[in-house]
């Protein structure tokens, strides 16, 4: 009999064998590279984030770690600080909202992906958006990856620091998510989405292009949501039963966790 203690641990990132599960599993597996769809210059990224001016030095909240003299801590020997933490950068954020209409990622899945792929993060899931906080230079590196790859659809994903709601709101006539602050628009000449305001809704000097909206076929291929045309259930009764278990479990489990055993029998 093989010694279980010598078996190699395999991460159980996400269950399931259908294409939606595969998509979710890929996003949360840091060993899997995301597909690059577009290139955003660093200066443009800094302007969209709106935290500092292009070319401006990073603001520090404490001296670089290499200059600090602290008592010995074994944890600090085990954990390698991120570049931003080592330099003493302040904490800054980026916030995304994702449409319910074939989004490349959803707010709840962003949280899992951030925790799996990044270090030194603080992330919060709201009803329609996802907030990511990191040391400033670490945030810029993460934001570049999030905007340039297949987790960003310029039409179905938006960068909004304030007035964020949009996850469950309508699409405009041109297929872009409605934004009360009008931070972006579709450039009919180039076919690309351009940001005319930063995430805080301050007007930019020049429009910043972030790429073309993905086609319906591309959006469906990258969708992370179970739908009737993606992974059909056996019957509507099955859907209602599953949703009923979710709703009941959410209420009952908080009241008396022992009652979940009865729910699992359903």
Hey, where are the domains in the chain?
Answer: 15-228, 233-266
Is 91:136 a contact under the CB 8 Å cutoff? yes
Pick 121 or 257 by higher pLDDT: 121
Residue 264 has pLDDT above 70, yes or no: no
Separation between Cα atoms, residue 34 and residue 14, nearest integer Å: 17
Token pair for residue 27? 């996003």
- For the cut 70, the answer to whether the pLDDT of residue 167 exceeds it is no
Burial class of residue 200 (count of CB atoms within 10 Å of its CB; 0-12, 13-18, 19+): middle
pTM, two decimal places: 0.84
Encoded tokens for 84: 């931003």
Cβ contact 122:115 at 8 Å: no
Average model confidence (pLDDT) for the chain? 89
Give 185's strand partners.
194
pLDDT tens digits, residue range 78-96? Answer: 999 999 999 999 999 999 9
Nearest alpha-carbon partner for 157 in 250, 220, 215, 95 = 95
Q: Which residue has the higher pLDDT, 70 or 212?
A: 212
Q: How many helices (H) and strands (E) does the chain have?
A: 9, 7
Res. 171: pLDDT tops 90: no
Q: Which two tokens stand for residue 107?
A: 């707010």
> Residue 226 — very low, low, confident or very high, per pLDDT cuts 50/70/90?
confident
Share of the chain above pLDDT 90, in %: 65
What's the pLDDT score for residue 261?
75
What beta strand segments (E) does the chain contain? 91-98, 122-125, 129-135, 157-159, 184-187, 192-197, 203-209
For the cut 80, the answer to whether the pLDDT of residue 166 exceeds it is no
**Angle, to 10 degrees, between the axis of helix 42-49 and the axis of helix 136-148?**
110
Instruction: List CB contacts of 194: < 8 A, sequence separation 6 or more.
Output: 184, 185, 186, 187, 207, 208, 209, 210
Using 50, 70 and 90 to split pLDDT, how confident is the model at 72? confident
Contact criterion met (CB below 8 Å) for 50 and 162: no
Q: Please report the pLDDT score of residue 4 as a whole number.
A: 59
The predicted pLDDT at position 246 comes to: 77
* pLDDT of the residue at 141: 97
Do residues 109 and 29 lie in contact, with contact meaning Cβ atoms separated by under 8 Å? no
The confidence score (pLDDT) of residue 230 equals 65
Burial readout 206-244 (b: 16 or more C-beta within 10 A, e: otherwise): ebbbbbbbbeeeebeebbbbeeeeeeeeeeeeeeeeeee
Q: What is the architecture, at CATH level 2, of domain 15-228? A: Alpha-Beta Complex (3.90)
Per-residue pLDDT tens over the stretch 47-70: 999 999 999 999 999 999 989 888
């Amino acid at each position: 009999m093989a010694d279980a203690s010598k078996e190699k641990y395999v991460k159980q990132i996400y269950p399931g064998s259908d294409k939606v599960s595969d998509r979710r599993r890929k996003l949360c597996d840091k060993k899997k590279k995301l597909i690059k769809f577009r290139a955003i210059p660093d200066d443009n990224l800094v302007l969209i984030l709106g935290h500092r001016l292009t070319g401006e030095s990073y603001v520090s909240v404490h001296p670089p770690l290499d200059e600090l003299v602290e008592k010995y801590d074994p944890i600090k020997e085990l954990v390698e600080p991120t570049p931003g933490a080592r330099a003493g950068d302040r904490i800054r954020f980026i916030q995304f909202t994702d449409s319910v209409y074939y989004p490349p990622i959803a707010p709840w899945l962003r949280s899992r992906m951030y925790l799996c792929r990044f270090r030194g993060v603080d992330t919060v899931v709201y009803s329609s958006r996802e907030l990511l906080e990191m040391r400033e230079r670490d945030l810029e590196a993460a934001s570049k990856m999030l905007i340039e790859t297949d987790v960003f659809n310029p039409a179905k994903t938006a960068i909004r620091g304030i007035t964020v709601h949009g996850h469950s709101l309508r699409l405009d006539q041109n297929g872009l998510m409605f934004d009360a602050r009008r931070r972006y628009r579709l450039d009919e000449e180039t076919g690309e989405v351009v940001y005319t305001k930063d995430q805080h809704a301050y007007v930019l000097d020049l429009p910043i292009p972030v790429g073309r909206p993905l086609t319906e076929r591309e959006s469906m291929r990258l969708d992370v949501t179970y739908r009737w045309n993606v992974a059909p259930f056996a019957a509507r009764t099955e859907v209602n039963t599953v949703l009923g278990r979710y709703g009941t479990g959410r209420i009952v489990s908080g009241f008396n966790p022992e009652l979940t055993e009865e729910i699992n029998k359903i």
